[in-house]
Amino acid sequence: MNSTLDLSVPTIILYSVLTLMAVIANLVYFEEVIYLIRKVPATNRRATIMWVSGLSPVIASTSCVGMWVPLASMITDLTTAVYIAIALHKFQEMIIEEFGGDEIFLKHFENTLVTFSTGPCCCCCPCLPAAKMSRRLMIMLKLGTFQLAFLRPVLMIFTLVLWVNGTFDPDDISPSGPAIWINTSLGVSTVVALWPVSIVFNKVKGELKSQKIIPKFILFKISFILNQLQALIINITASTGSIACAPPFSSTARGIYMNQQLLIMEMFIITLISQIYYRRKYHAKEIDGKQPTVKTHEGQNHLNGSITEGERSNV
């Protein structure tokens, strides 16, 4: 491919605008990080919020680098894939931390029924038996997301080694090639990881409305789907020749560029919207390291040094 010096003036202007969007997304995120450092104590809660809210700026940044440096697209895609896997695990942890941590979560939901007939694995299986929440079940749910956070980096490093050696071709989906086996393993691992996140979310979404957990979950899912499904659709479209080639770019190369440019714009918008829900006000007692109030089934509050419902409404 030609270098950026051979690009036309309109293309350079477009790339500059998209780069500015990526830079603004990162500046907004850095401002949020500073706000969280000031308002939230150095706990696992703050770390998980930073990991999750950083998803869209990271995707925008890697897409921008891949757009300007086409030869780095493989590395930027692998970086994005690894970050998404870790962020998915952190999102599950964030839900539990926003609720008050493992102990309060278990105390509140212990011996209550957990429904497994949810997406993406078992949404069509309403006959699945429910199980009572326990410490063992919570650990299993956490392991469901952790396996992706562990497996994807390992497979990505393995893929990168094969790519450097010239033995990995992402377009080779024959049974004799490594691409189909790596992608299949990642696909199964991803679906398995999404399942426990949905289970935990469905369990707490009614309790954490004041923490804006539903829009946070929606934004995370949109970022995940756009990064995964959009790229797949564009790649399939390009491979069938529906995206015309424009010398010096092949149909596949144009598809990659289109996906990167769309992701920058989409993640820029998502980053701005995310500030509404992640950059919220924290009560003084929360800043001191206390967890948010949650209601028990009897309508009483788990104080744990946190604010009451009346205090939260005034925040």
Closest CA to 36 of 70, 23, 28: 28
Tokens of 50: 């930073």
Q: Is 107 left (phi over 0), alpha (psi -120 to 50) or beta?
A: alpha
Alpha-carbon distance of 75 to 210, in angstroms, equals 39
Structural domains in the chain, CATH included, are 4-280 (1.20.1070)
Q: Is 111 left (phi over 0), alpha (psi -120 to 50) or beta?
A: left
Burial class of residue 307 in the structure, from the number of CB atoms within 10 Å of its CB (0-12 exposed, 13-18 middle, 19+ buried): buried
What pLDDT sits at residue 261?
Answer: 92
Q: Look at 236 and 17; give whichever has higher pLDDT.
A: 17
What pLDDT sits at residue 292?
Answer: 47
Contact 113, 132 (CB under 8 A): yes
Residue-averaged pLDDT of the chain: 80
The pLDDT of residue 246 is above 70: no
Would you mind telling me the total number of residues written for the chain in this entry?
Answer: 315
The residue to which tokens 């923490």 are assigned: 211
The pLDDT of residue 63 is above 60: yes
Task: Flag the least confident range among 18-32, 62-76, 122-136.
Answer: 122-136
Amino acid at 110: E
Q: Which residues pair with 132 in a beta bridge?
A: 113
What pLDDT sits at residue 265?
Answer: 95
Confidence of residue 220 (pLDDT cuts 50, 70, 90): very high
Q: Look at 21 and 6; give whichever has higher pLDDT.
A: 21
